[in-house]
Amino acid sequence: MGIRIVQVDAFTLRPFAGNPAAVCVLRESASEQWMRDVAREMNLSETAFLVAREDGYNLRWFTPAVEVDLCGHATVASAHVLWQDGHLPEGRQARFHTRSGLLTADRRGDWIELDFPAKIAVAAEAPAELLPALGIGGAKFVGRNAFDYLVEVDSEETVRALSPDHTALRKVPVRGVIVTARSSRPEFDFVSRFFAPGVGVDEDPVTGSAHTALGPYWAGILGKSELTAFQASARGGVVKVRVRGDRVLLGGQAVTVMVGELLV
């Protein structure tokens, strides 16, 4: 009997938008090499692997190249699959044990809300290659957290027009680079894009974990703790953000687009 694998578009309710993730709910732990092989075969920004335990699920995330410490969209996708496929009753909280500690997901109507640790970016000097690799001459702010650089630029138009040199960005010693600006549209507070060629993802379509930095950053600038964000990749996606002290609550929607069976 094969292993069910589900492909979900997260941070959207429209198929072929948002960020795709593959989800495998395993009957028992698998070898790390097998998980890496499956992630490389799926060739999505993240593949999630879950194994049930008494108080929730162990959850690991893999890009086609590496295992990562925190991933938002594949966690939204994982919770969606647990409820959709009957692993959990629809109203029960999903609890995930991860390399970033205990994470939870709750159903909020059509939305799934994740409870993640805040990853605040503090002001930092930009490496010499960073802004030239992004193709920009300057920035309003450059900061860094445990994972990424965060760069604020002058406008949404600048964010949307970026065409980075991914070979040069790959040399920057972080997981990825978040570029953001205040939104020019009233329905959103800010926009962003996320580039992570160093971990095998030139541009991530919608990055939940990046919003654990973006949420506190924009909450401080805009003076509000509840924000709505748009990640302006080609696929695009919406993230609702609530900043609660050292936690950031991320809201996203999800839709299943494909179900398959792994035969090996």
Q: For 18-34, how does the pLDDT look when each residue is reduced to its tens digit (9 = 90+)?
A: 999 999 999 999 999 99
Looking at the domain that runs over 122-245, which CATH code has it been given? Answer: 3.10.310.10
CA separation, residue 102 to residues 15, 56, 79, 97, 252 (Å): 29, 9, 14, 5, 19
Could you confirm whether 46 is annotated as catalytic? yes
- pLDDT for residue 187 is more than 80: yes
Position 90 scores a pLDDT of: 87
- pLDDT for residue 1 is more than 80: no
In whole angstroms, give the CA distance from residue 208 to residue 80. 15
Residues paired with 130 in a beta bridge: none
Instruction: Catalytic residue, from 41, 46, 90, 152: name it.
Output: 46
Position 233 scores a pLDDT of: 98
The closest alpha carbon to 210, from 248, 178, 181, 173, belongs to 178
Position 96 scores a pLDDT of: 98
Q: Where are the beta strands (DSSP E) in the chain?
A: 3-10, 19-26, 46-53, 56-62, 67-68, 94-98, 101-108, 111-117, 122-123, 141-144, 148-152, 176-182, 190-196, 201-204, 226-231, 237-244, 247-252, 254-262
Instruction: Specify whether domain 3-114+251-262 bears CATH 3.10.310.10.
Output: yes
Every domain range in the chain assigned CATH 3.10.310.10: 3-114+251-262, 122-245
Residue type, 26: L
What's the predicted TM-score (pTM) here?
0.94
- pLDDT for residue 91 is more than 90: no
